[in-house]
Amino acid sequence: MLPFVVAATAIAALAQPSTFTWVSKDLYAPALGGIMLSIGIKLSIDDFALAFKRPLPLSVGFIAQYVLKPLLGVLIANASGVPRMFYAGFVLTACVS
């Protein structure tokens, strides 16, 4: 259901941007926290048990998120020739995207 809510909200924001002008930057973090909480609430103990019964995909995902993606961020930063002060931004963006 969440993907449909997100898609409907995005379409509404594109169609009538003025409807969402009340959303300030101060609300971004609480809104993101609420979204993460709503996703986490839907998980059950069985979901975690299933994940730990198959450690290979779990390990591959962990390594990709915290090793491969930051490394790709550094490589892209090097390849595009950005100043050193922007490296942290590339690495952090690569980690969370």
Distance CA 67, CA 86 (A): 19
Query: Residue 13: pLDDT band by 50, 70, 90 thresholds?
Result: very high
pLDDT, tens digit (0-9, with 9 covering 90-100), for 41-72: 888 889 889 888 999 999 999 999 889 988 98
Provide the residue ranges of all domains of the chain, joining segments of one domain with +.
Answer: 1-42, 51-97
State yes or no: pLDDT of 2 exceeds 80: no
Percent of the chain with pLDDT over 70: 99
**Residue corresponding to tokens 């993907």:** 3
Per-residue model confidence (pLDDT) at position 79: 92
Per-residue model confidence (pLDDT) at position 20: 87
Measured in whole angstroms, the distance separating CA 36 from the mean position of its chain's CA atoms is: 10
Residue pair 6/31 in contact (Cβ under 8 Å)? The answer is no
